[in-house]
Amino acid sequence: MPLELEEELKHEMGRKQGEPREIPIRFEDADESVSGEVDSGTEPEAAANDADPEAGAAEQSADGQEGQPAEVYPLVQLQAQVDSLIQEKSGLYDQLLRRAAEFENYRKRIERERSETYQRARAEIILEFLPVIDNFERALTSLETSTGDADALRHGVELIHKQFKDALAKFGLEAVDSVGQIFDPNVHEAITIEPTDRHKENTIIEEFQRGYRMGDKLLRPAKVKVAASPNE
């Protein structure tokens, strides 16, 4: 070998030894995954999500990126409750309208029945007093044609008076006993007091106007004169 060529080869070999050289390293299982990560440009967090799908789904649901957010389910429940309450309110309102209409019909029916009962009662009372009016008319006619018999006239008036009282008694009207009774402020009204020794004190000695009651109800108190002690 010529000397010049040998020097040139030594110089070239020395230069190559001073330069850095790449040593290929190969991993049998991990080379594809590593190279895939590098080639796809996926972030480490995304790779972690791919490795754990459940964790990634949870994060995506929490962030509202995929699927329904966590707040959607309570909102659906609240909307269902609102719809149910609106339907219940509509049903109750319909019931209220029906009850109001039924009550109005009931009120009108009661008023009508009350008016009819009042009219029947009034007609029955008037029918009881029509014979009294007839007898008064006969008595007046008799006075015009008779010679003026006082006893006959008195007898006729007494009969009419009795008939009138009997008609009132049918409806429960009773006279309040007064003369000879002890004064009772519940049924008597003292108009005047007379000091006397002929009657016991607080005894009713005269009646100015008769009192009446119907059952337990006092319609009108009797106006009377009451005896008092002569020493007062």
Q: Model confidence at 125, in pLDDT bands (50, 70, 90)?
A: confident
Q: How large is the average pLDDT for residues 35-59? A: 47
* pTM recorded for the entire structure: 0.50
Q: How many CA atoms lie within 13 A of 107 on its CB side?
A: 6
Q: Which numeric CATH code is attached to 174-232?
A: 2.30.22.10
pLDDT at 156 over 60: yes
pLDDT at 6 over 80: no
pLDDT at 55 over 60: no
Q: How large is the average pLDDT for residues 207-218? A: 92
Q: What angle do CA 144, 150, 156 make, to 5 degrees?
A: 75
pLDDT at 114 over 80: yes
Are β-strands 217-220 and 222-228 bridged in parallel, bridged antiparallel, or unpaired?
Answer: unpaired
Give residue 150's pLDDT. 74
Give residue 62's pLDDT. 46
Q: Model confidence at 107, in pLDDT bands (50, 70, 90)?
A: very high
How far apart are the C-alpha atoms of 145 and 133, rounded to whole Å?
A: 19
Give residue 65's pLDDT. 44
Give residue 204's pLDDT. 94
Where do the structural domains in the chain lie, given as residue ranges? 70-171, 174-232
Give residue 198's pLDDT. 87
Q: How large is the average pLDDT for residues 71-83? A: 82
Condensed to tens digits (0 to 9), the pLDDT of residues 10-21 reads 666 655 555 555
Q: How large is the average pLDDT for residues 116-129? A: 90
Give residue 171's pLDDT. 86
Token digits of residue 173: 């009207």
Q: Which CATH architecture has domain 70-171?
A: Alpha-Beta Complex (3.90)
